[in-house]
A = this chain, B = another copy of it.
């Protein structure tokens, strides 16, 4: 059984997240998703709209996802790869080349292009511009 892992915040769940999960699952039979905790986001100077527990539950409910684990530090990836015996590490190509060092731990590293769709940042920006009239 091929095991795949990916990482992300998955805030304001949108079609881009869904496509990432669907594409990640194509690389194997079992998909683990590491969802950033609120504490880890804080460390990165970021704040999600929804708390970890809600983001986690939504990702867990997606058909392509077999297991969700918390992402709590930059360093945990090597441990995750060993612990879950991961074959393929999938990430958006915003991070291109950045995770090539993981190949030393016997994992394939796949960068997915964000050719289509929208990011959570775009959504927050668009929504922050909408007027009260448009809210119903």
List residues 89-136 of chain A with CB under 8 A from any CB of chain B.
121, 123-132, 134-136
CB proximity of A98 to chain B, nearest CB, Å = 18
Q: For the complex formed by this chain, how many copies does it contain in all?
A: 2
On whether A128 and B135 interact (CB within 8 A), knowing A12-B12, A58-B13, the answer reads yes
| Known contacts A121-B136, A127-B124, A61 near B58 by CB under 8 Å | no
* Distance of A87 Cα from B45 Cα, bound (Å): 49
Distance between Cα atoms of A42 and B131 in the complex (Å):
17
Q: Are B15 and A49 in contact (CB under 8 A)?
A: no
Q: Which residues of B contact A13 (CB under 8 A)?
A: 13-14, 58
Among B45, B50, B128, point to the contact of A132 (Cβ < 8 A).
B128
A46 touches B (CB below 8 Å): yes
Partner of A18 from the list B14, B15, B57, B64 (CB cut-off 8 Å) is: B57
> What residue of chain B has the Cβ atom nearest to residue A48's Cβ?
B136
* Contact present for A130 and B135 (CB under 8 Å): no
Measuring CB to CB, which residues of chain A are less than 8 angstroms from any residue of chain B? 12-15, 18, 21-22, 45-47, 49-50, 54, 57-58, 61-64, 121, 123-132, 134-136
12 CB < 8 A contacts A-B: A14-B50, A15-B54, A15-B57, A47-B134, A61-B62, A62-B62, A63-B63, A124-B127, A124-B135, A128-B128, A128-B130, A128-B135
